[in-house]
Structure 1
Amino acid sequence: MKSTLDTAALDAAVDSVHRAGIPGLFAEVRDGDAIWRGAAGVADLATGRPVTADLRHRVGSITKTFTAAAVLRQVEDGRIGLDAPVGRYLPELVPGERGEAITVRMLLNHTSGLAEYLPYAYPSLKAFPDLARTGPESLEEHRLTRFDPVDLIGMGVGALATGAPGSTPGLYSNTNYLLLARLLEEVTGSTAEDCITRDVIERAGLRDTAFPTGPSIEEPHARLYEAWFGMIDPPRDHSVQDMSWVGPSASLTSTVSDLNRFYRLLLAGEIVAPSSLAQMRRTVRVVSQEGRTIEYGLGLHPMEGAGQDAFWGHGGTVWGGGALAMTRADGRRQLAVAVNLQRWNRLDSSGRPQPHPIDAALGRLYRVALLG
């Protein structure tokens, strides 16, 4: 089949995102055997070092697809029941009736009703839509704080429930995926990071994807600039950050090439069995961290459309960085993109993020990359 990669349009699209205000971004687009890699802008505002398409990057919640795949491989091996209560495995973390009512599936698709722990771990960062009354102080104060995952889980479990277990729409919550990491540790006897590395990263043959071993990103990488809705001006570099605040729910570093390889193999049924992949693609309605209602599966969600035309993948953000990886259901068309600025939108009087030229420029890049 003839490739529909318009390299000139892709070059123009990434340059447009940079000119709209992103310091630097890089991407890989694939159409069958045809591959385009491009970059625009700088990796370091102080030195002017340019970004290149091979840089390592913190990919945030894209990690959740890797975690979900590792859990489903344990389901395939009979160590975890997908619809078993989490209290069967982790009674000390989710005790009593809630532990009996919340299943592993509910953790994976964010319908557990467990609250997000972040507002409690970072006290000045209240949950959306209260951003207008917050400040960025906690980001700097906790840059090198080593968080205990059990403490973080306790914050989420101890908070007011966001809904009954299994009810929809669910609410996207990192508490769910920290619990899944502890579940992996309980049934395998190894750390979640080791389990995900062995069963998913190495299985996919990813050479530049890994969990952090310290607060710094392995070179080469871009610096990550956090604007916190205009409250940090100029944006501050947060590429050095202890990632224990999210742990195995959102701490992976990777490259755009590795991300495309991972999702291509996943959707081909080569990371988990086809039956598990079918479970991953069963969606429910979930309210995202941005307050939008989306369709969400098991660590995987569609961008739009359905059937063979749907693009499946995940997005992710950390302090200062963002990434998106999407692959068409047939595996032929793919996009992975990384940016080194986050929370560029200013807030209105009600605390709602306002449109920014970056949003429109990214939308154009997605259309050119995915639709040709």
Structure 2
Amino acid sequence: MKAELEEIHRAGVPGVWAEVRDGRGVWRGAAGEAAPDMRHRVGSVTKTFTAAAIMLLVERGRLQLDTPVHGDATVRMLLNMTSGLADYRFLAFPSLLEGSAQSLDDNQFRHFYPRELIKLGVDAPAVPPGTYSNTGYLLLGRLIEKITGMTAERWITRNVIDRAGLRNTMFPTGTRIEGPHARMFEALFGLIDPPRDYSVYDMSWVGVAASLISTMEDLNSFFAQLLDGKIVSRESLALMQQTGPVVAFDGSTVDYGLGLHRLGAFWGHDGSVWGAGTWSFHSTDGERQVSLAVTLQRWNSAAIDEAVAAFQRKALRV
């Protein structure tokens, strides 16, 4: 698999690294400006952690999946993207609708409050149920705060991250990643040429929807425990694995449950924030696990598409 990572780098990704686990052991590799143990912004993989926190509150009788949160939108609908609430990203970054990356620079050090972003999403016209949106997960974060009396980030850390024994997984406390990490470059499908380094960024714009920092080792450990019923109960896991079609930001349709994707026989999540991409999928029995990090996002390159797909196929053995 080292050759496949090298091909991703040669195709144009500055840094790429991965950890693959199977019944025989653990393989780690990297290519370009990267190392296998680096911390990374894992984007919407955060949603699985937030969903697990919600399921723990359900298990403890402090919440029900059919509890309304906003209008007719229930906890379950926010988790599985069927609420019809619009995503706020084009409203928070308006220049993107005008073919300009200026908003990315304008907001680099801006601190957004969840209520600001939620208002943008709920005030926008409704979208068809099954449309991917960060707005619902920010609402879930506010719900955690209301129920527990502490910030959602702190509660998720105590009850999910610490419970799983993850030593390199954390919500950001500033604009930088502490510890070893790679630079992260955003291309905006060729609008930013050459791609720009957005490694330093205020991640309040995604909060508990997509701001988590982790390593590929920690992600594999987390998903192994989650799918083995060690983070939430097996009953809760079965609910998380009840899926339906959801249209992702890139226009593709994914099989989505309560904070989990299904990809054939594998479960997991992918993630994307400015400059950083992550892909983490795992067999139900835990025998095969793949977590991949890349330091370029929204490229416009068929060569990168194919190189990434080739690694995924080989790593998953599909």
Normalising to structure 1: TM-score of the pair?
0.84
> Residues 223-372 of structure 1: matches in 2 within 5 Å?
223-303=183-263, 305=264, 310-345=265-300, 356-371=302-317
Determine the C-alpha separation between the residues in 2 that align with 1:122 and 1:33. 46
Aligned length: 318
1:69 counterpart residue number: 52
- SS of corresponding position for 1:212: coil
The amino acid across from 2:16 in the alignment is: L
2:150 to 182, 186, 190: 190
Q: In the TM superposition, what whole-angstrom CA distance separates every residue of 1:100-120 from its partner, at most 9, and x where no partner exists?
A: x21100000000000001111
Please provide the CA RMSD for this pair: 1.0
Whole-angstrom distance in 1 between the partners of 2:145 and 2:24:
38
Q: Secondary structure at the match of 2:3?
A: helix
AA in 1 matched with 2:11: A
**291-300 or 250-259: which moved more?**
291-300
Counterpart among 75, 86, 96 of residue 115 in structure 1: 86
Q: Which residue of the other structure, out of 150, 162, 165, is the alignment partner of 1:202? A: 162
Q: Which amino acid aligns with 1:15?
A: E
| In structure 1, C-alpha distance between the alignment counterparts of 2:190 and 2:91, rounded to whole Å | 22
**Partner Cα separation in structure 2 for residue 357 and residue 63 of structure 1:** 28
Please, which runs of 5 or more residues in structure 2 have no aligned partner? Answer: none
Question: Which of the residues 35, 57, 69 maps onto 2:26?
Answer: 35
How far apart are the structure 1 equivalents of 2:243 and 2:3? 35
Deviation at 1:32, TM superposition (A): 2.0
Q: Is 2:17–2:31's contact at 8 Å kept on the other side of the alignment?
A: yes
CA-CA distance at 1:33 after TM superposition = 4.5
Structure 1 residue 125 displacement after superposition = 1.8
Please say which structure displays the higher CA radius of gyration: 1
2:106 pairs, out of 127, 141, 160, with 141
Tell me the amino acid that sits aligned with residue 40 of structure 2: H
C-alpha distance in 1 between matches for 2:220 and 2:116: 34
CA distance in 2, matches of 1:33, 1:215: 39
1:129 counterpart residue number? none
3-state DSSP of counterpart to 1:324: strand
Name the CA distance, whole Å, in 2 between partners of 1:210 and 1:342.
Answer: 22
In structure 1, how many angstroms separate the alpha carbons of the residues matched to 2:126 and 2:182?
A: 38
Consecutive aligned runs of 4 or more in structure 1 exceeding 4 Å deviation:
none
